[in-house]
Structure 1
Amino acid sequence: MRKRASYLSMSTAAAAAVAILAATPAAASPGLLADPTAQSARTPLERQVLPAGDGWASADGGTTGGAAAAPADVHDVSDRAGLLEAFAASGERPKIIRVHGTIDANTAADGSALSCTDYAAGTGYELEQYLQDYDPAVWGRDRDPAGAQEDARRAAAAKQARTIRWNVPSNTTIVGAGPDSEIRGAALRINGADNVILRNLTFSDAADCFPAWDPGDGRTGAWNSEYDLLQVINGATHVWVDHSEFTDAPNPDSEQPSYFGTPYQVHDGAVDVTNGSDLVTISFNRFTDHDKLMLIGSTDSPTRGDPGKLRVSVHHNVFEDVGQRAPRVRYGQVDVYNNHYVVPENGSVPYVYSLGAGIESHIYAEANAFTLPAGTDAAEIIGRYKGTTIATVDNTVNGKKVDVRAAYNAAVPEAEQLTHDTSWTPTLRTQVHAAQAVPALLARTAGPVLSTGGVR
């Protein structure tokens, strides 16, 4: 087992810098504070950077976000208008945004709440009419919806997108000012940007008011929603997502109705990394009450710029009541270690799988803990979607070491089996804990548990 000091402790170089930091106000020397070797528990949360060696986002120059922001580029926000103003300020100069309380994306410019009815107003969209027009018994299943109600749905959806879809600029750190800081209903995008840090926040309920009906999706058709809580897209690089929570609560898809015999799904992904994005570290987060969680890789086609990119580290996260895609990978080298996967006995989200091996994927899954209910076979941990290899090392199921790849292979025909991936071995890691220790460790440390004065 390879051991390194975790980011919660100080390296020798960092300890040597403490005296300098103690005598240097944060705003007076931002360049110093953007240096990982000068970081310590005395560094304010918003000035902390991703330490060297902590996952793929630490490669090729590292991730510092807005740690070097000048005093004028530090913003305290508590509503949608303030957050969008902070995004627009300063261009791409380093900036820090501290979120206070709950910011609701579904609000108008004057701060009043917006509902799905508000977005539909003036478009002519009515769900009841939409259901009548495109009922498979009337419309059939061999053509996509078209006509007045589909046009109206698209218009209403565009109004919501203009309100809740926000792009995070390069060289930005967004932190929760306290562990109760929340961004609700937003579809955040790191869209072609570089050097972004998101920490100590809850991201919740990016619900699509107007899911699209696709009668040809699968055997029964499907309702497809538009928004992820966070998209890392279009060549975005150097992204660190840490000590946050991602959840559909208080509006889980399990409480939505079914139409045409198919669940009316209003949420898409939680964190997706696609379209040639690269160098991402996702650490110490909690993911709860969500179905299709984390997609890494756009499509099976290599034309989206994914081959050679999509290098992502996923470590020390809790995945609880998550249906699938934790993660599902195409093309990328994805390091998945020291996570705790919890499948509840009577969860609200049907469990499908955790690790999805897609086309040309290279997942290295080590020392993860899987807590499964009685009757759930370890073979279900892996899902195969045109993948051929996966590395699974020293993982546990209900506290006992299990070769989950072997369990999967034993349950499927030989043509669907996965070989051990020998194409790479992860090196950019913090301390790798024994899988048996992971559940207790993450019960204390995952999610928004940080303070603005340093790590608690």
Structure 2
Amino acid sequence: MRTRIWHAHARASLVGCTALVLGLTGTLAHAHSPARPHARDLGRETLPAGDGWGSEGAGTTGGAAATAAQVHTVTTWAGFKAALQAGGDAPKIIKIRGVIDPVAEGCASFQAPGYDFDAYLEKYSPENWGLDTDLSGEPADSPEGLRAASAAAQDAAIKVNVPADTTIVGVGKGAGIRGGSLQIKGVDNVILRNLTIEAPLDCFPQWDPTDTDTGAWNSEYDAVVVYGSTHVWVDHNTLTDGRYPDGTLPTYFGRTYQQHDGLLDIVRGADHVTVSWNSVEDHDKTMLIGNSDSAGATDTGKLKVTLHHNRFEGVVERAPRVRFGQVDSYNNHFVVTEEQAYGYTFGVGASSQLYASDNAFSLPAGVSAAKTLKKWSEAPLTAENNYVNGRKTDLIAVHNAEIPAETLRSGAGWTPTLRTKVDPPRAVPGIVDGRAGAGKVR
């Protein structure tokens, strides 16, 4: 208990010092001695005061209070897992050098003895199995049982739990994680910065004959999930499908063999999160904030998230889809490319209070601004001073005019106060495109 109290005092002191430095200099980078311009240490940097919901209360300092013994530089997945566990509850900084990959030996390394994908397809094809019965009752030695055992092996290998008071940061411009799943679960005070994170590829998706009228393949593993955690800062990362975009995935039983889930999901009562200056690329189900309409007991009054100065390109939907939370989205650049599938950008869900302003959208010919909003449940939102292809556009009015069956109400019922500089939305593409993503921390 004493250690935890000390951590809280240390965090409060760090936030106070950061605020003082910001007041004197106007930039966090100058918090370091001007006599040593090359001594900047991203691992010691903290979320500036007033920078989104993550700065609320004690703020987000991650592992900035770590002793020298709890600063680890890792170059392998095994080393990364060991560093996460080292030192118990002590604050820690983990620096990733190069690319670490828990699936470097390929999907075959997780296969249970006897698993055969062709046998799986043969047994559960709609012609042989039908579409009325799921696979939940299949025995352990069946193709489904062997698939489940293989999936369990991958699950154990690629998921890691990030402890409280931790900063994970990439060293230089080439640092990243391929195929791992970062679980920020039930903890407080985590920072994730300067990494290229390639979404996990589910090696063993499950066929569900009863999912829709024609069945569907369902996959596991988010790249990053913030589950019931508080004070999290996700900054200057590149999150992407990387080598395995959905367009390259095969088709079985007439349905895409879906091997991706979310890129960054914030769920189950998570709170006080700032997501800033990230490049989010080439993904379908991108970001959930609140994962269930029935989670009101857990999520009401929480899921406070700020998204600012992020670049979204080639994403199909959920940027984000919101339930319950007071979500502030400003100064983001949303780019829809001509060749991509596109569903929507902002999903308005159960009891959500989305405040989206001062964003820029770049849409190709044939994609209407009306599609930027999607109504899932009755919930008002604020959408003001947003620009589409360089022109100020009332997103709600355009949506309601073109999609009257999903009429949206204006007025989220709150006004964000935890914002740093709000840039003119016309300038956002020029500002964000050159600075968002891994390797671009200034």
8 Å contact from structure 2 (residues 249, 258) kept in 1? yes
Partner of 1:22: 33
Is structure 2 residue 179 aligned with structure 1 residue 198? no
Q: Are the aligned partners of 1:211 and 1:226 in contact in 2 as well (CA < 8 Å)?
A: yes
RMSD over aligned Cα atoms: 2.3
**Structure 1 residues 395 and 258: CA distance shift in structure 2, 3 A:** same
Of the candidates 101, 122, 134, which is equivalent to residue 144 of structure 1? 134
The amino acid across from 1:330 in the alignment is R
Q: Which residue identity lines up with residue 44 of structure 1 in the other structure? A: D
Q: Which residue of 2 aligns with 1:244?
A: 237
| CA spacing shift, 1:374–1:229, aligned 2, 3 Å | same
| Contact 1:277-1:310 within 8 A present in 2 as well | yes
Indicate the residue corresponding to 1:44 in structure 2: 41
- 1:238, CA displacement in angstroms? 0.5
Q: Does 1:94 align with 2:91?
A: yes
Q: d(CA) in 2 for partners of 1:340 and 1:186?
A: 27
TM-score, normalised to structure 1's length? 0.88
Code of the aligned partner of 1:373: P
Letter of the 1:70 counterpart: T
Alignment gaps of 5+ in structure 2: 1-17
- Rounded to whole Å, the distance in 2 between the matches of 1:328 and 1:310 is 12
Shift of 1:434: 1.1
Q: Which residue among 349, 362, 373 is the counterpart of 1:382?
A: 373
Q: Which residue of 2 aligns with 1:32?
A: none
Task: Write the deviation string for residues 102-142 of structure 1: whole angstroms up to 9, x where unpaired.
Answer: 00122xxxxxx4221221141x3221111111112221222
1:55 to 52, 55, 74: 52
Q: Which amino acid aligns with 2:86?
A: A
Relative contact order, higher structure (CA 8 A, sep 6+): 1
Alignment of 1:268-347 (within 5 A): 268-302=261-295, 305-347=298-340
Residues 360 and 428 in structure 2, CA contact (< 8 A), matched pair in contact too: yes
Q: Is the alpha carbon distance of 1:20 and 1:306 closer, same or farther for their aligned partners in structure 2, counting shifts above 3 Å? A: closer
Q: CA deviation at 1:12?
A: 2.8
Q: 1:96 is paired with a residue of what secondary structure?
A: strand
What is the deviation of 1:219? 3.5
The CA deviation at 1:160 is 0.4
Deviation of the 1:18 alpha carbon: 10
- Local SS of the residue matching 2:422: coil
Q: 1:167, 1:355 → 2: CA distance?
A: 29
Q: Which residue of the other structure, out of 362, 373, 393, is the alignment partner of 2:364?
A: 373
Rate the CA distance shift 1:304–1:218 in 2: closer, same or farther, 3 A: farther
* Structure 1 residue 317: Cα displacement: 0.4
8 Å contact from structure 2 (residues 29, 40) kept in 1:
no
> How many angstroms apart in 1 are the aligned matches of 2:223 and 2:297?
21
Change (3 A) 1:23 1:382: closer
Does the 8 A contact of 2:355 with 2:412 survive in 1?
no
Total equivalences in the alignment? 421
Q: 1:387 to 1:125 in 2, by over 3 A?
A: farther
Following the alignment from structure 2 to structure 1, what is the Cα–Cα distance between the partners of residues 339 and 20? Answer: 38
* Alpha-carbon distance, 1:64 to partner: 0.1
Q: Which runs of 5+ in 1 are unaligned?
A: 1-6, 26-39, 107-112
SS at match of 2:121: helix
Answer yes or no: is 1:12 the counterpart of 2:23: yes
Question: Partner of 2:312: helix, strand, or coil?
Answer: strand
Partner-residue secondary structure (3-state), 2:316: strand
Aligned equivalent of 1:408: 399
Identity over aligned residues, as a percent? 49
Residue 68 of structure 2 is matched in structure 1 by 71
Once the two structures are TM-superposed, the CA of residue 23 in structure 1 deviates from its matched residue by 9.9
Which deviates further from its counterpart, 297-306 or 278-287?
297-306
Task: Describe the SS at the equivalent of 2:315.
Answer: strand
CA contact (8 A) 1:253 1:264 kept: no
Measure the CA separation in 2 of the matches of 1:329 and 1:19.
36
State the partner residue of 2:116: 126
Write the letter of the residue equivalent to 2:420: T
TM-score by length of 2: 0.91
Tell me the amino acid that sits aligned with residue 433 of structure 2.
Answer: A
Q: Residue 324 of structure 1 contacts residue 352 of structure 1 at CA under 8 Å; is this kept in 2? A: yes
